[in-house]
């Protein structure tokens, strides 16, 4: 929906009063009061219009030469909320107040109007007082709020993102679409002797890493916590205990600083990573996310409203398969980079390993799903058989043949999704994107099929906080309300739930 903001005219009075009485049922201003507000020389009123109809208005009062301005009122019709109209009105009022030399802006808001309070917090307002039973006839208290941060309202929001869904403790800071800091502490080494991520160890490591990672991120971005406009945090999917640490920390930060919070989806965060690299996300796009924790094929029509799961792994994640096969081959954890290295000198056709869910009968039911457990078993059997027969087996050949099987399925299914939906764009994400053969094969297959390939830098592909901050910033800039503090960690959060 597109709207315009313009100065209020006396001729708008009828429509303004209709909105006033709709929004403030019991304590609406009278027509006379509204008219004198609109006509007074020390007030500045704006209206928002959609297709010629008024949908909202807001105004300030500021005496000549005063460094203080007051927000008098703001109203947006209930059926037009959530589209950023309130934010846009306040933005313009702030600009005007700043132009006229304001250093502080005050307002009063009903204590039960949490929607308006959240909006004001986004603009840096803090509660400085309480007026008991200020609103009559219902006797509701007023919060007095003030901001001295006369923000550069055209500046993009500064968002801090917290990611703890698996074994990376990530905190990133973005300003709008721009990356300022991306600090990651991985507990991978602690898991190496177990050959895979141990959830309890990951959760504890997050707890220890969060403080130092936060400090480093703020210092890299050269901002203070006070300047941050909003906090974003991954609340799923991922490991339950690990997610809880990040969610708890983010809520504590939000409460102690009074900042709004956005609970966001980890998988959609991977997609938002691309915005930090190229400044925007071109949609629609197919996205293939492959890591130690997930293997998902997504159709993204709109990153904030329309992300669809086409398919995912029905057993192991792709990275997990690399880690498990590395173990079978006596290579260290994490297995992906080790197998990638060993495969360089191997023959990818030495062994014909199975390609999961690619037979015609599987393709009917699981066209975009993946399965790697059969492949893992086939590799293990090949290695065992050689051992039993006392035969030398070439680790580079097994690694190369295994890698080829994984990459073959991943890329062929991703390309099929692009062609089936006539979407000539493929975005890759997740730690497995580091795989040399996967990148090479993706490039050649995309080129052959006229598909534009997007691969963000690896530091943004592996799990990180910047991608979470990026998604939070997109939500905020689109006018989405912050999350209410009662959201929880959800290890199986669906990709369609972009914000909780």
3-state secondary structure the chain: CCCEEEECCHHHHHHHHHHHHHHCCCCCCCHHHHHHHHHCCCEEEEEEEECCEEEEEEEEECCCCCCEEEEEEEEECHHHCCCCHHHHHHHHHHHHHHHCCCCEEEEEEECCCHHHHHHHHHCCCEEEEEEEEEECCCCEEEEEEEECCCCCCCCCCEEEEEECCCCEEEEEEEECCEEEEEEEEECHHHHHHHCCCCHHHHHHHHHHHHHHHHHHHHHHHCCCHHHCCEEEEEEECCCHHHHHHHHHHHHHHHHHHCCCEEEEEHHHHHHHHHHHHHCCCCCCEEEEEECCCCEEEEEEEECCCEEEEEEEECCCCHHHHHHHHHHHCCCCCCHHHHHHHHHCCCCCCCCCCCCCCCCHHHHHHCCCCECCHHHHHHHHHHHHHHHHCCCCCCHHHHHHHHHHHHHHHHHHHHHHHHHHCCCCEEEEECHHHHCHHHHHHHHHHHHHCCCEEECCCHHHHCCCHHHHHHHHHHHHHCCCCCCCCCCCCCCCCCCCCCEC
> In terms of CB distance, is 232 or 406 closer to ligand KG4?
406
- Residue pair 307/495 in contact (Cβ under 8 Å)? The answer is yes
- Tokens at 163, concatenated: 């990611």
235 is a site residue for Zn ion (CB under 5 A): no
CB of 287 to Zn ion, least distance (A): 12
List 12, 70, 445, 463, residue binding Zn ion (CB under 5 A):
463
> In terms of CB distance, is 105 or 318 closer to ligand KG4?
318
CB of 499 to ligand KG4, least distance (A): 22
CB of 271 to Zn ion, least distance (A): 11
CB of 296 to Zn ion, least distance (A): 9
> In terms of CB distance, is 113 or 459 closer to ligand KG4?
459
CB of 95 to ligand KG4, least distance (A): 42
164 is a site residue for Zn ion (CB under 5 A): no
> In terms of CB distance, is 92 or 167 closer to ligand KG4?
167
Q: How far is Cα 298 from Cα 268, in angstroms, rounded to an integer? A: 9
292 binds, among Zn ion, ligand KG4, none (CB under 5 to 8 A by kind): ligand KG4
- Tokens at 54, concatenated: 């008024």
Using CB under 5 A, which of the segments 56-64, 91-99, 183-191, 286-294 binds Zn ion?
286-294
336 binds, among ligand KG4, Zn ion, none (CB under 5 to 8 A by kind): ligand KG4
Site string for Zn ion, 51-80 (x = CB under 5 A): ------------------------------
Beta-carbon contacts of residue 30 (< 8 Å; ≥ 6 apart): none
323 binds, among ligand KG4, Zn ion, none (CB under 5 to 8 A by kind): ligand KG4
> In terms of CB distance, is 8 or 321 closer to Zn ion?
321
Using CB under 5 A, which of the segments 9-17, 109-117, 309-317, 456-464 binds Zn ion?
456-464
Beta-carbon contacts of residue 385 (< 8 Å; ≥ 6 apart): none
> In terms of CB distance, is 145 or 271 closer to ligand KG4?
271
274 is a site residue for Zn ion (CB under 5 A): no
Apex 450 CA angle, 449 and 453, nearest 5: 100
CB of 344 to ligand KG4, least distance (A): 11
> In terms of CB distance, is 124 or 430 closer to ligand KG4?
430
> In terms of CB distance, is 225 or 434 closer to ligand KG4?
434
CB of 142 to ligand KG4, least distance (A): 48
Chain residues that interact with ligand KG4, rule: CB under 6 A? 166-167, 291-293, 319-320, 322-323, 334-337, 340, 430-432, 434-435, 462-463
CB of 280 to Zn ion, least distance (A): 22
Using CB under 5 A, which of the segments 44-52, 72-80, 284-292, 483-491 binds Zn ion?
284-292
CB of 394 to Zn ion, least distance (A): 33
Chain positions 287 to 316 lying near Zn ion, rule: CB under 5 A, are 291
Using CB under 5 A, which of the segments 39-47, 194-202, 444-452, 460-468 binds Zn ion?
460-468
> In terms of CB distance, is 260 or 336 closer to Zn ion?
336
CB of 170 to Zn ion, least distance (A): 10
Residues that bind Zn ion (CB under 5 A): 291, 463
């Amino acid at each position: 929906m597109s709207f315009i903001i313009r100065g209020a005219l006396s001729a708008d009075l009828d429509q303004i009063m209709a909105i006033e009485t709709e929004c403030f049922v019991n304590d609406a201003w009278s027509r006379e009061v509204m008219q004198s507000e609109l006509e007074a020389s020390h007030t500045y009123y704006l209206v928002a219009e959609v297709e010629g109809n008024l949908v909202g208005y807001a105004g300030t009062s500021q005496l000549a030469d005063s460094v203080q301005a007051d927000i008098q009122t703001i109203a947006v019709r209930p059926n037009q909320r959530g589209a950023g109209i309130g934010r846009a009105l306040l933005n313009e009022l702030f600009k005007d107040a700043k132009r006229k030399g304001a250093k502080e802006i005050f307002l009063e808001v009903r204590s039960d109007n949490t929607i308006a309070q959240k909006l004001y917090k986004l603009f840096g307002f803090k509660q400085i007082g309480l007026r008991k039973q200020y609103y009559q006839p219902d006797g509701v208290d007023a919060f007095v709020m003030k901001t001295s941060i006369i923000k550069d309202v055209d500046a993009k929001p500064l968002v801090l993102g917290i990611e703890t869904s698996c074994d990376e403790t990530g905190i990133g800071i973005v300003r709008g679409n721009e990356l300022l800091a991306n600090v990651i502490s991985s507990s991978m080494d602690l898991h190496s002797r177990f050959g895979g991520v141990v959830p309890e160890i990951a959760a504890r490591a997050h707890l220890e890493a969060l403080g130092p990672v936060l400090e480093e991120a703020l210092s890299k971005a050269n901002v203070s916590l006070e300047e941050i406009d909003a906090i974003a945090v991954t609340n799923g999917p991922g490991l339950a205990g690990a997610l809880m640490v990040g969610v708890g920390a983010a809520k504590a930060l939000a409460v102690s600083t009074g900042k709004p919070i956005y609970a966001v989806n980890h998988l959609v965060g991977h997609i938002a990573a691309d915005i930090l690299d190229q400044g925007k996300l071109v949609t629609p796009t197919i996205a293939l996310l492959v890591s130690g924790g997930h293997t998902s094929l997504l159709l993204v029509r709109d990153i904030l409203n329309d992300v669809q799961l086409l398919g995912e792994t029905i057993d192991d994640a792709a990275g997990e398969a690399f880690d498990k096969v590395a173990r079978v081959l006596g290579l260290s954890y994490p297995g992906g980079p080790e197998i990638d290295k060993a495969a360089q000198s191997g023959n990818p056709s030495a062994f014909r390993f199975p390609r999961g869910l690619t037979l015609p009968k599987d393709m009917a039911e699981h066209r975009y799903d993946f399965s790697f457990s059969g492949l893992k078993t086939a590799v293990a059997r090949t290695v065992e058989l050689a051992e039993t027969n006392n035969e030398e087996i070439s680790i580079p050949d097994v690694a190369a043949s295994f890698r080829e099987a994984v990459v073959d399925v991943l890329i062929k299914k991703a390309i099929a999704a692009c062609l089936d939906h006539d979407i000539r764009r493929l975005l890759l994400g997740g730690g497995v994107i580091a795989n040399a053969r996967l990148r090479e094969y993706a490039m050649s297959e995309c080129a052959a099929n006229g598909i534009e390939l997007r691969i963000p830098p690896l530091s943004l592909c592996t799990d990180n906080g910047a991608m979470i901050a990026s998604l939070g910033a997109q939500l905020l800039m689109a006018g989405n309300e912050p999350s209410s503090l009662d959201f929880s960690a959800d290890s199986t959060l669906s990709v369609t739930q972009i914000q909780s």
